[in-house]
Amino acid sequence: MELVILDRDGVINVDSPNYIRSPGDLHPLSGSLEAIARFTQSGCRVAIATNQSGLARGYFDMDALNAIHRQLLSRVAAVGGRIDLIAFCPHGPDDGCACRKPAPGLLEAISRRLAMPLTGVPFIGDSLRDLEAGLAAGAEPILVLTGNGEKSLAQLPTHLASVRVYRDLWHAAVALLDGDGQGAPGAPGP
């Protein structure tokens, strides 16, 4: 595996209905930073695709978002990992852009910027819009049960019923890298 793409809020860090507005709001989920380190140490590039409508809504500005991402990069580096690229959509839900998930624009931008095709690339998310974006981009959508994952699992439409499901990012990383669990469609893997 050469590339893995991750959603941010609800996959790497605790999501908040009040948005992640500052570095102090960034609380990594258990094992998530270590999972990124495992990907990195296996030679896999790691990218993030995240909707950040809080910018359009005025909840935070680019300086705050950059500070949040600098902290995330630093915390990942502290455990031996690396994030190669963070792609974000700054638009609101009604802006009609091509980059806001479930549209595939963010993933396609990652593909272009890293000069890597998306076919078969795992895109790990916690929401239906993540899964839809992965499918639309030709990546392999994977669901984790953190964040909105359990709610998303309960609402999986038929065309997404075969996605692999894992308890969290750590368990997804172990299964993808070690090949010791396929993650049953519609049910949590190891």
Active centre residues (catalytic): 7, 9
The token pair that represents 95 in the structure block: 């802006």
Q: Which two tokens stand for residue 112?
A: 């272009």
Angle, CA of 35, 151 and 61, to the nearest 5° = 65
Enclosing H/E stretch for 68: helix 62-78
Which residue is it, tokens 């500052």? 22
36-68 in b/e form (b: 16+ CB < 10 A) is: bbbbbeeebbbbbbbbbbbbbeeebeeebbebb
d(CA 114, CA 107): 11
* Contact yes or no for 118/108 (Cβ under 8 A): yes
Q: How many other CB atoms are found less than 10 A from the CB of residue 86? A: 20
Separation of first and last alpha carbons in the chain: 19
